Amino acid sequence: MPLSPAAARPLGLALGVVADALLADPRRYHPVAGFGRAAQALERRLHADAVAPGAVFTTVAVGVPWLLGVAAERVTARRPLARVAVTAVATWAVLGGTSLAREGQVMAGLLDAAQSDAAGAATSDAARAGIGAEETPALQQARARLSHLCARDPSQMSVGDLARATVESLAENTSDAAVAPLLWGAVAGVPGLLAYRAANTLDAMVGYTSPRYLRFGRVSARFDDLVNLVPARVTGLLTVAAAPVVGGSVASGWRVLRADGARHPSPNAGRPEAATAGVLGVVLGGENVYAGRVERRPGMGVGGRAPRAADVRRAVRLGRVVVAEGALVAVGLAAVLARRASRGGRAARS
């Protein structure tokens, strides 16, 4: 039986999710890294301390991947198997859920070791000599490794600080690296996949409020906020639904999501972070340092305890389930939309 064109998008998304689960991100020649280098070259040409050049930069850097996706779908319009393959490769290229989980596992191991070192140091010769837990090799490695997840300055972070930063990053990036691209792929196919990843990459490059990008990066930052409005809230709901997997409470997750989801400085990041805080029973938010700039965020999940190394492992498991839930939602949505489009096309021809 020939493959129905309506099945190409949902099947391609599903295969891309499987490819990410099995292969994760390529270690070399990652297409997103290649896009980042091209975007950096474009930024150097267009940069000025003004909003208008930044708007041009965002339009070009997002528009080109979108048009490439449109071209790919037109070329494969009458070839369902080719459309499946293109969609699967694009989905695999833009997803980062498996690599995110692996980074979380590495951090959990380092933080476990740092906690053990700290406990042992309490009775060691090093402790009697005045060498604190902050000097242990495992904690130093964990501080260095945090840059794989976020841009915070880890130089003065304790194990608890690192655990909180990791849990927050896992929660936010589960939306950005997996749920959001899948939803955009379901709604807009290959163009949606590529354009979303481009927008999210630009936000990471120029969307923060450093002096260089305060004006130039404004459009990139606001556009990323826009394309994540719905996915971040969906991720929050999926996180609450996944609570039993990590021994958490659906009721607590829902309560903290509703109470604290809007307290984050970002219009989107607070939703998955608040839901995660409620599910894990921990407090997130607080003081963060970025290249010498101190940012104080309101607490989420107040009444819970401070995150520990074990909570990082729980956050990893939670994120894996949320990614699986997001994949099911995206594949189902893509199938519904494709059937509707197919029926509409048949009706127009009759």
Tens-digit pLDDT string for the chain (350 aa): 578 888 999 999 999 999 999 999 987 888 999 999 999 999 999 999 999 999 999 999 999 999 999 999 999 999 999 999 999 999 999 999 999 999 999 999 999 999 887 666 655 554 444 444 456 899 999 999 999 999 899 998 999 999 999 999 999 999 999 999 999 999 999 999 999 999 999 999 998 778 899 999 999 999 999 999 999 999 999 999 999 999 999 999 999 999 999 999 999 999 999 999 999 999 999 988 887 788 888 999 988 999 999 999 999 999 999 999 999 999 999 999 998 877 766 665 65
Which residue is associated with the tokens 């009458």? 78
- Nearest CA among 173, 170, 146 for reference residue 157: 146
CA of 293: how far to CAs of 82, 127, 155, 252, in Å?
A: 49, 32, 13, 33
Classify burial at 37, counting beta carbons within 10 Å of its beta carbon; exposed 0-12, middle 13-18, buried 19 or more.
Answer: exposed
User: Long-range contacts for 202-205 (Cβ within 8 Å, ≥24 apart)?
Assistant: 202/39, 202/57, 202/58, 202/61, 202/62, 205/36, 205/39, 205/40, 205/43
Residue 151 CA, chain-centre distance (Å), reads 14
CB 190 within 8 A of CB 86: yes
Q: What is the DSSP letter of 176?
A: I
